[in-house]
Amino acid sequence: MDKNLIIDIVKGSIAEEIEIEKGDFLISIDGVKINDCIEYRYLETSESLELEIEKKSGEVWVFDIDKEMDEPLGIIYENALMDEVKTCQNKCLFCFVDQLPKNMRKSLYLKDDDSRLSFLMGNYLTLTNMTDNEIDKIIEYGISPIKVSVHTTNPELRKKMLKNKNADKIMQVFDKFRNSNIEIDCQIVLVPGYNDKLELSNTILDLYNIHPVIRSVAVVPVGITKHRQGLPDIRVVTPDECRESIHLINGMQKKFLKEKGTRFVYLSDEFYIRGKLDLPDYKEYEEFHVLDNGVGMVRVFEREVDEALKKTKNLKIDKKFTVLTGTLAYDFMRKTTAKICQKLEGVVIDVIEIKNDYFGRDVNVSGLITASDIISQVKGRLGSNVLIPENMLKKDENMFLDDVSLIDLEKELGVSVKPVEVNGYKLVREIIGE
């Protein structure tokens, strides 16, 4: 890409100070034409750089900039990648995108497998389409951590699960990072009858043997929707299988902690909730490297609520709220909101569980709840002060997955609905009215 369109400038940034504007184009940094966001982020970190900008008028400006190391320029581009997205070449037997219903918004059907999105947004990649040049660039520019969907280190099984002939070389790719400072967080989607039990144990041990290149491993249960026509016959993890997995991982964590001072592998909260067992204590999640995989989210939210309540004086508020949540978090949210009500006199919080009819009842997380399910299940039952977790909506657009806007939902329900960040502290502040 020869030049990159600038669509916004961060207030108070270097770019604003030197009068770069929306509609200008980035041409180069230090004479280097920018191929993608990895190069840009690397070059941007320098303390001294030459920035070439083409103004809307067509005039070219060149800036000599001295700044703090790692201080961003404050430029937002039309295309965050500064290049085309690399799409996924796999046909994973558990792929969630393949299980989406028809007629959803087009962007939801895009399957990416791009290392730059791992860096920018924390997306997981499979490494099946990564070239040696891309690996060299990650190492050269120190892009770390990266997130990798492993699922299994058994070469033949990985080819079978990903339906890609190049999927068997995962350990060879990891070997290329051994002498670098790159850290890798791994994900295993557990599919009963495929990569569980002994296969799971072997995969974790293979990854543990190359720690600290592999920093941590998250194990999550496979997600199954009701839209699997023509797809392989797989099923959800049962409560008994959840408990078996917990027993296996507990034993491995004890061994790893003794040998290397880290538990290394972690199960998502869903295993404990479905298996009806207590979650690990907060400290057992260590650095929360794989929080975005639903690993430790309950303990983090719980602590945020507790800390917020400690800082809050006993107040009398006299307000009623309704909190909508998914099946998975329902019991936890009832206990948590009861704790809030106990501290804040006059506050009443009704927690309503929204069952997922759009994707199927096996889908239980709040982030996959649609407006249509909310409308069909709670219309006419709600008072004022309705709160929903922010992750039900597309970021910055206030749209649900079924393409219904927040405004349209409010019109249909006849009440105002407030999205709240998935953060215990923010929930308490919202209830207090701060």
Residue 111: pLDDT above 80?
no
Pair of tokens at residue 243: 């408990």
More confident site: 142 or 274: 274
Are the beta carbons of 349 and 318 closer than 8 angstroms?
A: no
Judged by average pLDDT, the poorest of 80-89, 120-129, 202-211, 215-224 is 80-89
Residue 116: pLDDT above 60?
no
- Report pLDDT digits (tens) over 336-392: 999 999 999 999 999 999 999 999 999 999 999 999 999 999 998 887 899 999 999
Backbone angles phi, psi at 305, to 5 degrees: -65, -45
Residue 5: pLDDT above 50?
yes
- Residue 192 is given by DSSP the state T
Are the beta carbons of 207 and 214 closer than 8 angstroms?
A: yes
More confident site: 322 or 180: 322
Domain edges within the chain: 4-77, 97-294, 301-432
- Report pLDDT digits (tens) over 15-68: 999 999 988 988 888 888 877 766 777 788 788 999 899 998 899 999 999 988
Are the beta carbons of 91 and 164 closer than 8 angstroms?
A: yes
Q: Which CATH architecture has domain 301-432?
A: 3-Layer(aba) Sandwich (3.40)
Residue 142: pLDDT above 90?
no
Q: Which pLDDT score, from 0 to 100, does residue 82 have? A: 45
- Report pLDDT digits (tens) over 230-261: 889 999 999 999 999 999 999 999 999 999 99
Q: Which CATH architecture has domain 97-294?
A: Alpha-Beta Horseshoe (3.80)
Q: Which pLDDT score, from 0 to 100, does residue 110 have? A: 52
- Report pLDDT digits (tens) over 144-177: 888 999 999 999 999 999 999 999 999 999 999 9
99 band by pLDDT with thresholds 50, 70 and 90: confident
Residue length of the chain: 434
Q: Which pLDDT score, from 0 to 100, does residue 397 have? A: 81
Q: Which pLDDT score, from 0 to 100, does residue 107 have? A: 61
Bin 23: left if φ > 0, else alpha if -120 < ψ < 50, else beta.
left
CATH 2.40.70.10 fits 4-77, yes or no: no
Are the beta carbons of 369 and 391 closer than 8 angstroms?
A: no
CA distance 131 to 337: 49
Residue 112: pLDDT above 60?
no
Q: How many CB atoms lie within 10 A of CB 349?
A: 21
Q: Which pLDDT score, from 0 to 100, does residue 120 have? A: 46
Q: Which pLDDT score, from 0 to 100, does residue 117 have? A: 47
CA distance 293 to 186: 10
Q: Which pLDDT score, from 0 to 100, does residue 46 have? A: 84
Q: Which pLDDT score, from 0 to 100, does residue 235 have? A: 95
